[in-house]
Chains A and B, each alone.
Chain A
Amino acid sequence: MEIVKNLDGSHLKVSLIGRLDAVTAIQLDKDVTKSLSNIKNLTLDFTKLDYIASAGLRILLKLQKIMNLQGEMKIINVNRDVREVLEMTGFSRLLTIEEPSAPKKLSFNF
């Protein structure tokens, strides 16, 4: 799995690419947890995340608990497979998952 981090002030955006399984979950834990000091907003981009295992869920839970203390965390662009896992495990109720923004309709004022 590939982890791409974008830091903008106190806003950290982490894009996950590939599979978040038992092995890569450890990588994500190490990589992101240490970057969280002074972060107010953490955004996890799941656009290219194909799969999430229970070990990955554990890291999401851990990150959520850390961010509960210092700011907010949200997950964006969750695909169908991952969304199913999050919903089944009840994580979707605990985590802030932002719906993919629907394309805005153009309004014309004549």
Chain B
Amino acid sequence: MKVQMNIRRRLLILVLSCSIISLLVLGIVVIYGMFDIRQDAKETGREIGIAAVDTSGKVLESQSRENLEKIAKTRAEQIVLSLRGIRTGIIMLSSEMTNILSNPEIYSEKAVYEPRMENAGKLVPQLMYSATVTNRAALQHEIGLSGNIQDFLFQLNDSSEIVASSYVASKNGFIIQADQISDRKFDSNGNIAPYEAFQRPWYQKASAEQKLIFTDVVNDIHGGGLCIICAAPYYQNGEFAGVAGMGAYLREVNQIVLDTKIGETGFGFVINNQGHVLFSAKTEGDLAVDADGKNDLRKSAEPTLADAANHMIAGETGSMPVQIDGVDYYVAYAPLPDTNWSFAALIQKDEVIAPAISAGEAITGKTNDLTNAMDSQITTITIVTVIAILILLAVVSVSGVKLSGRFIQPIHELADGVREIASGNLDKKLEIHTGDEIEHLSVCFNAMTDELKTYMNNLTKITAEKERIATELDVAKNIQISMLPREFPAFPDHKEFDIHASMNAAKEVGGDFYDFYLLDENHLVVTIADVSGKGIPAALFMMISKTILKNFSMTMINPDDFAAVMTLTNNQLCQNNDAMMFVTVFMGMLDLQTGEFTFVNGGHNPPVVYHKATDTYEYIKVKKNFVLGGMEDIDYMQQSIKLEKGDLIYMYTDGVTEALNKEEELYGEERLINCLKRFDQNLSMEELLKFVRADVNKHVNGADQSDDITMLALRRN
């Protein structure tokens, strides 16, 4: 039962562990794969974001720089156009004056009036003199001629709001000026103030350069804000005659600059060739309007800005990155040629690439959305996988229990059948039809049962046979033993000698025998012999040997023929001895009267003789005649010794001297003779044999007896 449970448990464990391992591996692979993909997606999204920011940033940067340059150019053109109106006016004014002065014949003199207080607020042309003029009358012709320009001046002023005043200043020290501030032309005493045109920068510059000029921007003395004066020389018959000028408000230019709004942070500014900021949307910092003309942008603390200023003052068109107060900007600039100014437009770099950054952020956001979606997906899949695995495991467990039960069932049947067979029912047939190894096993069991049945039948027969043989052998052994003289004392009437013999057969019947008998009243024959081998053959050969020896002995007439008995017996035994059996024989004959002991030795162990006179034991020196039955026509020699009264002869077979102990040591001749020496001569021959036997047993010490132990002792009294 235990084994079956083990198989079942092992099957279960096998199935379950295989399933668990497979499912775990699968689950781990799936989850790992999903996390890997998620990580990839995240990484890729991040990279795309970075690349998008980078690429689109660059594109945007280059595009916005282009745009910025375009804006700068456009704005610069607008400013130039605005200034050109002024310029055109001066060109027309100066050429009209040249025309008038050079062609006095077609113009009549016109009266020009000095300033009047009541004209304040009205646009009127007014005449003023320099303090240097001493003879005003000498100038009246020229003044009258120049008076023809009054209408033009009036119209020039009236045509545009930006014109503050327009005027022509003669080299001879008067000026005709059209404006609305007649009241300011007087000194504190109410006299008309002199006007020193020669000292004015516009006059000095235009007369010096002999071409149209723009002055620096100045705060208008009339309070109209920033103002610029455009001036050009006029001529009389090719000779310099004076300077025509016009003061113009730069509100439009300022507006253009202020209107330059580029995105959230972009703005514009204008610098002149001194590096001063003329117009700017900024109200503070380096780029605020430098009203006083103190700061040179080329000396800005921001090196990039200073660099940009240099480019601008050099009249270049282009763009570059700059840094203002630690913030990155792009600046694009374009020159304003008439005034030697330069217009610049700026925009913050961050704003330029803001779309790229927001695009990048959008991509990152999308990626995060994707990753989050994947995360929740992964969680769902993981949960589903775990549930699936648990369900699968439950299914596998249940089906594993059922399946293993099904596997085990035939084994149970097999076990029951085998138990029945074991209890003795050899006719039991196992009926298992599972079509697998177990069916094969049951078939083998059936075959084994059949074999067992046959074998047991045979065994029964053989055992019966063996028992019969054993019984017969026992009978044979009994017959063999009963052949030997076993009644002691054997010769109660003969007190002149004491004889005793014993044979302890080994397990099976053996070939030892002894014999003794009286030939006549005076002669006792003793024999001890050992047939080669054991068993029935030896026993049969022993019977024949004993019988033949005795027969020949009994027919002997003369004691001298004692050896002939052996010779004849030998020849008899040799006939038809195909089995090559032989027997060693010691046979002796005691003359009870004389003590003469005649003996013949046929290959047997020499007996021991005790001489009472000397109290010594010795092995009889026997002639080494051949065994009996071995070879035909062998002559045996007889010998004789004399036994005095009290002397004894001890005869034995090799079962004594060759008795083995467990260490396989032989008892041996030496132990035997030493044993005999310890024997008390007052005891009988029966006691002697027991004494020797006890000593042999002591030596053997419980080891199996391998050979017959046969002894015969004879003492002459």
In this complex, which of A53, A58, A90 has the most chain B Cβ atoms within 10 angstroms of its Cβ? Answer: A90
**A62 adjacent to chain B (CB < 8 Å):** yes
What CA separation (Å) do A9 and B627 show in the bound complex?
34
Within 47-62 of A, Cβ neighbours of B (below 8 Å) are at: 51, 53-55, 57-59, 61-62
Q: Give chain B's interface residue range (CB within 8 Å of chain A).
A: 20 to 34
Query: Which residue of A has the minimal Cβ distance to B605?
Result: A88
Separation in Å of the A84 CB from the closest CB of chain B?
A: 9
Checking A22, A53, A90 against B627 with a beta-carbon cut-off of 8 angstroms, the contacting residue is A90
A53-B707, A55-B534, A61-B580 known; A94 vs B654 contact (CB < 8 Å): no
What CA separation (Å) do A28 and B604 show in the bound complex?
23
Separation in Å of the A89 CB from the closest CB of chain B?
A: 3
Separation in Å of the B344 CB from the closest CB of chain A?
A: 124
Q: When the two chains form their complex, are residues A94 and B630 in contact, meaning their CB atoms are under 8 A apart?
A: yes
Residues of B within 8 A of A25 (CB): 533
Q: When the two chains form their complex, are residues B624 and A93 in contact, meaning their CB atoms are under 8 A apart?
A: yes
Q: When the two chains form their complex, are residues B604 and A58 in contact, meaning their CB atoms are under 8 A apart?
A: no
**B625 adjacent to chain A (CB < 8 Å):** yes
**A87 adjacent to chain B (CB < 8 Å):** yes
What CA separation (Å) do A53 and B603 show in the bound complex?
13
What CA separation (Å) do A93 and B637 show in the bound complex?
14
Checking B534, B580, B627, B666 against A65 with a beta-carbon cut-off of 8 angstroms, the contacting residue is B580
**B706 adjacent to chain A (CB < 8 Å):** yes
What CA separation (Å) do A65 and B534 show in the bound complex?
21
A54-B532, A61-B582 known; A88 vs B604 contact (CB < 8 Å): yes
Q: When the two chains form their complex, are residues B626 and A54 in contact, meaning their CB atoms are under 8 A apart?
A: no
Separation in Å of the B308 CB from the closest CB of chain A?
A: 119
Over the window 25-61 of chain A, the binary record of Cβ atoms lying under 8 Å from chain B Cβ atoms (1 yes, 0 no) is 1000000000000000000000000010111011101
Within 70-97 of A, Cβ neighbours of B (below 8 Å) are at: 87-94
**B581 adjacent to chain A (CB < 8 Å):** yes
Q: When the two chains form their complex, are residues A54 and B630 in contact, meaning their CB atoms are under 8 A apart?
A: no
Within 436-466 of B, Cβ neighbours of A (below 8 Å) are at: none
Residues of B within 8 A of A55 (CB): 532-534
A91-B626, A91-B627, A94-B630 known; A51 vs B533 contact (CB < 8 Å): no
Q: When the two chains form their complex, are residues B624 and A92 in contact, meaning their CB atoms are under 8 A apart?
A: yes
Separation in Å of the A96 CB from the closest CB of chain B?
A: 14
In this complex, which of A88, A91, A94 has the most chain B Cβ atoms within 10 angstroms of its Cβ? Answer: A88
**B266 adjacent to chain A (CB < 8 Å):** no
Q: When the two chains form their complex, are residues B627 and A57 in contact, meaning their CB atoms are under 8 A apart?
A: yes
Residues of B within 8 A of A87 (CB): 624
In this complex, which of A61, A87, A89, A92 has the most chain B Cβ atoms within 10 angstroms of its Cβ? Answer: A89
Q: When the two chains form their complex, are residues A61 and B630 in contact, meaning their CB atoms are under 8 A apart?
A: yes
Total number of residue pairs linking A and B with CB closer than 8 Å: 66
Within 361-385 of B, Cβ neighbours of A (below 8 Å) are at: none
Over the window 581-608 of chain B, the binary record of Cβ atoms lying under 8 Å from chain A Cβ atoms (1 yes, 0 no) is 1101000000000000000001111100
Query: Which residue of A has the minimal Cβ distance to B603?
Result: A89
Over the window 657-684 of chain B, the binary record of Cβ atoms lying under 8 Å from chain A Cβ atoms (1 yes, 0 no) is 0100000001000000000000000000
What CA separation (Å) do A92 and B533 show in the bound complex?
19
What CA separation (Å) do A22 and B533 show in the bound complex?
6
Q: When the two chains form their complex, are residues A90 and B581 in contact, meaning their CB atoms are under 8 A apart?
A: no
What CA separation (Å) do A88 and B652 show in the bound complex?
14
What CA separation (Å) do A92 and B603 show in the bound complex?
10
Separation in Å of the A32 CB from the closest CB of chain B?
A: 13
Residues of A within 8 A of B666 (CB): 51
Separation in Å of the B237 CB from the closest CB of chain A?
A: 164
**B531 adjacent to chain A (CB < 8 Å):** yes
Over the window 532-565 of chain B, the binary record of Cβ atoms lying under 8 Å from chain A Cβ atoms (1 yes, 0 no) is 1110000000000000000000000000000000
Separation in Å of the B586 CB from the closest CB of chain A?
A: 10
In this complex, which of B605, B630, B706 has the most chain A Cβ atoms within 10 angstroms of its Cβ? Answer: B630
What CA separation (Å) do A90 and B580 show in the bound complex?
16
Query: Which residue of B has the minimal Cβ distance to A25?
Result: B533
Over the window 325-355 of chain B, the binary record of Cβ atoms lying under 8 Å from chain A Cβ atoms (1 yes, 0 no) is 0000000000000000000000000000000
Checking A21, A51, A90 against B603 with a beta-carbon cut-off of 8 angstroms, the contacting residue is A90
Residues of A within 8 A of B630 (CB): 61, 91, 94
Residues of A within 8 A of B647 (CB): none
Q: When the two chains form their complex, are residues B532 and A88 in contact, meaning their CB atoms are under 8 A apart?
A: no
Residues of B within 8 A of A22 (CB): 533-534, 706-707
What CA separation (Å) do A62 and B584 show in the bound complex?
16
**B401 adjacent to chain A (CB < 8 Å):** no
Checking B580, B602, B624, B706 against A58 with a beta-carbon cut-off of 8 angstroms, the contacting residue is B580
What CA separation (Å) do A21 and B533 show in the bound complex?
9
In this complex, which of A22, A51, A54, A92 has the most chain B Cβ atoms within 10 angstroms of its Cβ? Answer: A54
In this complex, which of B531, B582, B603, B626 has the most chain A Cβ atoms within 10 angstroms of its Cβ? Answer: B603
Separation in Å of the B502 CB from the closest CB of chain A?
A: 20
Separation in Å of the A30 CB from the closest CB of chain B?
A: 14
Q: When the two chains form their complex, are residues A53 and B626 in contact, meaning their CB atoms are under 8 A apart?
A: no
What CA separation (Å) do A90 and B634 show in the bound complex?
11
Q: When the two chains form their complex, are residues A90 and B626 in contact, meaning their CB atoms are under 8 A apart?
A: yes
Query: Which residue of B has the minimal Cβ distance to A90?
Result: B626
Over the window 1-31 of chain A, the binary record of Cβ atoms lying under 8 Å from chain B Cβ atoms (1 yes, 0 no) is 0000000000000000000011001000000
Separation in Å of the B528 CB from the closest CB of chain A?
A: 13
Q: When the two chains form their complex, are residues B580 and A91 in contact, meaning their CB atoms are under 8 A apart?
A: no
What CA separation (Å) do A54 and B583 show in the bound complex?
8
Q: When the two chains form their complex, are residues A91 and B534 in contact, meaning their CB atoms are under 8 A apart?
A: no
Q: When the two chains form their complex, are residues A57 and B602 in contact, meaning their CB atoms are under 8 A apart?
A: no
A51-B658, A54-B530 known; A90 vs B582 contact (CB < 8 Å): no
What CA separation (Å) do A25 and B606 show in the bound complex?
24
Q: When the two chains form their complex, are residues A54 and B625 in contact, meaning their CB atoms are under 8 A apart?
A: no
Query: Which residue of B has the minimal Cβ distance to A59?
Result: B580
Residues of B within 8 A of A21 (CB): 706
What CA separation (Å) do A77 and B651 show in the bound complex?
31
Known: A54-B533, A58-B533, A58-B581. 20 other contacts (CB 8 A): A21-B706, A22-B533, A22-B706, A51-B658, A53-B658, A54-B530, A54-B531, A54-B532, A55-B533, A57-B582, A58-B532, A58-B580, A58-B582, A61-B582, A61-B630, A62-B580, A88-B606, A89-B626, A90-B626, A91-B630
Residues of A at the B interface (CB closer than 8 Å) are 21-22, 25, 51, 53-55, 57-59, 61-62, 65, 87-94
9 closest A-B pairs (Cβ-Cβ)? A90-B626, A89-B603, A58-B532, A54-B532, A62-B580, A55-B533, A90-B603, A22-B534, A90-B624
26 contacts between A and B (CB under 8 A): A21-B706, A51-B666, A53-B707, A54-B530, A54-B531, A57-B582, A58-B580, A58-B581, A59-B580, A61-B580, A61-B631, A62-B580, A88-B603, A88-B606, A88-B624, A89-B584, A89-B603, A89-B604, A89-B624, A89-B627, A90-B602, A90-B627, A91-B603, A91-B626, A93-B624, A93-B626
